[in-house]
Amino acid sequence: MNHLRFDQHRAKLIALFADHPGAVLLHSAPAVDHWHTTDTEIAYRPESDFYYLTGITEPECRILLDPRDGAYHVFVPRRDAQFAVWHGYVTSLEEWKSRTGADQVHYVDELPGVLAGLKATVVHTIARRDADFLAWLGYKAETGYLSDMLAACRVIKTPAEIELMRTANAIASAAQDAVRAALRPGMFEYELKALFEYEVAKRGAHPAPYNGIHAAGASSAILHYTETHRRLEDGALYLCDAGAEWAGYDADLTRTWPVNGTFSPEQRDLYDVCLAMQEGAIAGAAPGVAMEDLHLGACRTLLEGLSNLGYVKGGIDELMEHNIFALFFPHGLGHFLGLDTHDPGGYPKGVTRIDRPGLRYLRTRRVLEPGMVVTIEPGIYCIPALLGPAMADHAQARYLDTDRLARMSGFGGIRIEDNIAITATGHDNLTTASKR
């Protein structure tokens, strides 16, 4: 069940506006969107900040929050009989009030009058459409602060939010294990994508939190692979980066397996290095630890493993200094997770990206705190666009076994991803999909 207390979310946000006298907060849910210039609707998903504050899943609603007294106003569209013909039941204002717990419920066209009655001196909002509307009404709109404050609220999850993510992880883990059991040479990526989505849907989780990556062979080295047409070849790897959503909260998992069920010695060696990278990073995930330090630790484990296997040569410190790890692991170790697959808050104001290969794409540079949920997803890839230029550059090639790496252009990649909740004393791994 969904035991979220949206009033607690609103109270957390309102508390951050205690030193903003005369301010009110306005936020809105977008309308249903359509494919290009057609009348074909795109499946509607609630805007995450709006859902976080309200639990409302219908489009075109608005809310006003008054930090001065905590008043919660909900504004809903007027619906007529024609709406019921095409879309179903029309909810009354009384039902809206009971459902949302709002102090007052109004129609959207009554917003100007309600706003005037609050006598606010500034209105905090996020969306440009709301800012334009407020300007038309003659109000001063502040568009930067509310987004930052919502990110600050959302980055620390309540126990109820974490339990929803645990459920999403259980569903996604079961689907990942089902895909592994079904893997056979000769299948197509789209078959496994369909199987994963079926396994998730039959457990009541819908829609998907993101499109999913179902990549076989060389495609598994394409970080954001979107096609699903490749046939699974005997002896190749298959990478499945796909999750589930439960009551709005996401799971984001990745597993990599041999198509024929048995790793080759080379695949097994590199898989074990990637698993060691992940296990080390998860073991280190605790309050007070910076994400970039976990990332650099995983990079060192990568280089130690590749050195022991003979893919790279030289001292580990020297290899780190020359960023050789970035040739095999070009993306960040993980990101925040919650109502969005890439949840906000990774870079608060004043925190900048690290201008260094392999670290430029870190999605968060935060120090971990209890209540944060992050992904831990190291990878090892043979990406021709990275390894080709490196092997032709003497400054980098001297650290590489170029002959051996040249033969691995079609190897693909390995990624292993779990979802980790940070606790007061360490961490809680929400993911249960098999890794061995």
pLDDT tens digits along 338-381: 999 999 999 998 999 999 999 999 999 999 999 999 999 999 99
Are 103 and 202 in a shared domain?
no
Report if residue 373 sits inside a domain: yes
Separation CA 53–CA 258 (nearest Å): 43
Report if residue 434 sits inside a domain: no
Please identify, among 94, 128, 154, the residue that sits at the C-terminal boundary of a domain: 154
- Closest Cα to residue 192, out of 205, 209, 175? 175
Half-sphere exposure of 230 (CA within 13 A, CB side): 21
Are 142 and 168 in a shared domain?
no
* CATH number of the domain encompassing residue 81: 3.40.350.10
Predicted local distance difference test score (pLDDT) of residue 420: 98
Are 201 and 84 in a shared domain?
no
User: Both tokens of residue 245?
Assistant: 């959503």
Are 172 and 287 in a shared domain?
yes
Name, in order, each residue with C-beta under 8 angstroms of 11's C-beta and a sequence gap of 6 or more: 70
Separation CA 343–CA 361 (nearest Å): 15
Are 136 and 86 in a shared domain?
yes
Report if residue 436 sits inside a domain: no
Are 88 and 226 in a shared domain?
no
Are 17 and 97 in a shared domain?
yes
Q: How many domains does the chain have?
A: 2
Are 18 and 111 in a shared domain?
yes
The answer to whether 107 touches 76, Cβ cutoff 8 Å, is yes
Report if residue 193 sits inside a domain: yes
Predicted local distance difference test score (pLDDT) of residue 86: 84
Q: What is the pTM of this model?
A: 0.96
Report if residue 1 sits inside a domain: no
User: One-letter amino acid identity for 128?
Assistant: R
Separation CA 293–CA 102 (nearest Å): 44
Report if residue 204 sits inside a domain: yes
Running along the chain, 436 residues long, what does each successive block of 10 average in pLDDT?
86 94 94 92 94 96 96 95 85 94 97 94 93 92 94 98 98 98 98 98 94 97 95 98 98 98 98 98 98 98 98 98 98 98 95 94 96 98 97 96 93 98 98 96
Report if residue 256 sits inside a domain: yes
Looking at the DSSP bridge assignments, the partners of residue 417 are 254
Q: State the residue range of the domain holding 374.
A: 159-429
Please identify, among 102, 121, 154, the residue that sits at the C-terminal boundary of a domain: 154
Report if residue 31 sits inside a domain: yes
Are 187 and 55 in a shared domain?
no
Predicted local distance difference test score (pLDDT) of residue 206: 85
Helix (H) or strand (E) holding 123: strand 122-124
Please identify, among 154, 184, 218, the residue that sits at the C-terminal boundary of a domain: 154
Separation CA 145–CA 267 (nearest Å): 48
Are 14 and 57 in a shared domain?
yes
* CATH number of the domain encompassing residue 306: 3.90.230.10
Are 138 and 172 in a shared domain?
no
Separation CA 46–CA 418 (nearest Å): 25
Helix (H) or strand (E) holding 403: helix 402-406
Predicted local distance difference test score (pLDDT) of residue 1: 53
